[in-house]
Amino acid sequence: MNSNFHWRPVLRALPDLIQAAFVTLEVAALSMLIGVVLGLALAMARDFTAPAAAPARWLAVAWVALARNTPALFQLYFFGFGLGAWGINMSPLAIVLAGLSFNNAGYLAETFRGGFRAVPAAQMRAALSLGMTRMQAMTRIVVPQVLRAVWHPLTNQMVWAVLMSSLGMLVGLHELAGETQAQASRTFRIFEYFAVAAVIYYVVVKLLVLGARLMAWRLFRGWSPA
Amino acid sequence: MSNTVTYFTGFRGADLLFLAEAAWGTLKLSALSIAVGTALGVGLGWMLAELRATRPILVPLLDVFRSVPLIIQLVLFFNFVPMIGLGLSPFAAGCVVLSAYAAALVAQVARAGIESVGRPLRRAARSLGMSYGQAMRHVVLPMGLRTVFPAWVGIVLGVMKDSSLVSVLGYVELLRASQILITRTQEALFVLGVAGAFYFLLSWPVSWWAARHEKRWQQ
């Protein structure tokens, strides 16, 4: 090994990197929020049976297929360069948010479909026969069970969103990876900078997983293990 | 012929060939990484399932590959190699990182596969006079494979899509090729559409083949 490591510039940039890590978290969380809403809509649209709803169903099928069968970076490029052809130019933040939300929605649609299937229809009927309204039955009986079924995949998707947001580096967003690259290109201490970024990513992901576990423990205690 | 230089030209037939060649690059890169990663991962998965003492070291180590963005792993490795006096092409470096990444994913799946075959069943196999290797080969492998096959296919498709990230090292795979063409033709939507079609062409046969196998196994 005839290479000297220089960690000092990285340490000096550490506050900037941590600041950027929060951008990463914000982008991931926001894209998850949009992804959950869109994913729920897609999951419902896929199960539409009315002939009039066929276009919505096809849109959902195409969306899910595209989101799951093409690379996330491809999806980002589509929102970045592809839409530019239609005169829609987006900021790096908007590109990453759109790309990640599109991807999250596609994957979460499948997750939610599985989650709703995991709750037998008899549960709804039983709740109604107990005198609950449809709304009550939904919010008190069905949704909590769906939530439990999708909790783990939801956590996984959030971790993925954090990891995928690093693609922002390629479209000029200064989230953790992008900021790291910008800082690294100033001093050419590429290895040192990215090593520190890797550590920060690892810590962020571990904290997220830990947080999700704690929340699951709090939310689902008293339930028999699934 | 005029002497003016045209910087932007439309999409030509030859460009399709260029994209096909790049798709072949994507296929080579992912096939090689998946092959190496699966072989390594099965070995690691076996260690996780059978040699419990290796768990405290292996589990956190493999976890790193799934907790750090692949793009960071690629940049780190590509910049680390010259430090120890080696030279690797972007393709080779990408292969190494993708293989390690695939191995980390396959290891968990392989471990789950081995553990899905219950202990009583394996004891029964041993009590029939099978050796450890025979029980593994004739009982655990066929049964465990069926349980985790869909998960493995998911990894295969995932690695194929993630191979697009090797473009950051400069290897011209499908996505990078489409970038080059977009710069020249200025027809982003069309070129991306073609590239997307190629990705579909690569992943769809795998999904189809996997679905057919699963159905046959369920019978």
pLDDT, tens digit, 9 for 90 and up, residues A53-74: 888 899 999 999 889 888 999 9
pLDDT in tens, B10-42: 777 788 888 888 889 899 999 999 999 999 999
With tokens 């199960």, the residue in question is: A47
What is the H or E stretch that residue B182 is in?
Answer: helix B174-185
CB A107 within 8 A of CB A67: yes
Q: Is residue B44 part of a domain?
A: yes
Q: What is the DSSP string of B30-54?
A: HHHHHHHHHHHHHHHHHHHHH-GGG
Q: Is residue B14 part of a domain?
A: no
Task: State yes or no: pLDDT of A219 exceeds 70.
Answer: yes
Interface of B with A (CB under 8 A): 64, 67-73, 75-76, 79-80, 83-85, 157, 161-162, 164-165, 167-168, 175, 178-179, 182, 187-190, 192, 195-196, 199-200, 203-204, 207
Instruction: Say which CATH number the domain at B99 has.
Output: 1.10.3720.10
Residues A55, A43: Cα–Cα separation, whole Å: 14
Torsion of CA A81, A82, A84, A90, to 10 degrees: -70
> Could you tell me the residue ranges of all domains in chain A?
10-219
CB A75 within 8 A of CB A83: no
- What number does CATH give the domain A10-219? 1.10.3720.10
The interface predicted TM-score of the complex, written ipTM, equals 0.84
User: Residue B69 and residue A201: Cβ atoms within 8 Å?
Assistant: yes
E-only strand ranges, chain A: none
Q: Is residue B142 part of a domain?
A: yes
What is the mean predicted confidence (pLDDT) over B39-54? 91
Q: Is residue B15 part of a domain?
A: no
pLDDT in tens, A93-128: 999 999 999 999 999 999 999 888 888 889 889 999
- For residue A74, the number of C-alpha atoms closer than 13 Å in the C-beta half-sphere is 26
Q: Is residue B209 part of a domain?
A: yes
Q: What per-residue confidence (pLDDT) applies to B74? A: 93
Q: Is residue B28 part of a domain?
A: yes
User: Residue A190 and residue B79: Cβ atoms within 8 Å?
Assistant: yes
Residue range(s) defining the domain that contains residue B199 = 22-218
A167 touches B at CB < 8 Å: yes
Q: Is residue B161 part of a domain?
A: yes
Total number of domains constituting chain B? 1
Q: Is residue B6 part of a domain?
A: no
User: Residue B189 and residue A69: Cβ atoms within 8 Å?
Assistant: no
What is the H or E stretch that residue A197 is in?
Answer: helix A190-219
Residues A206, B201: Cα–Cα separation, whole Å: 36
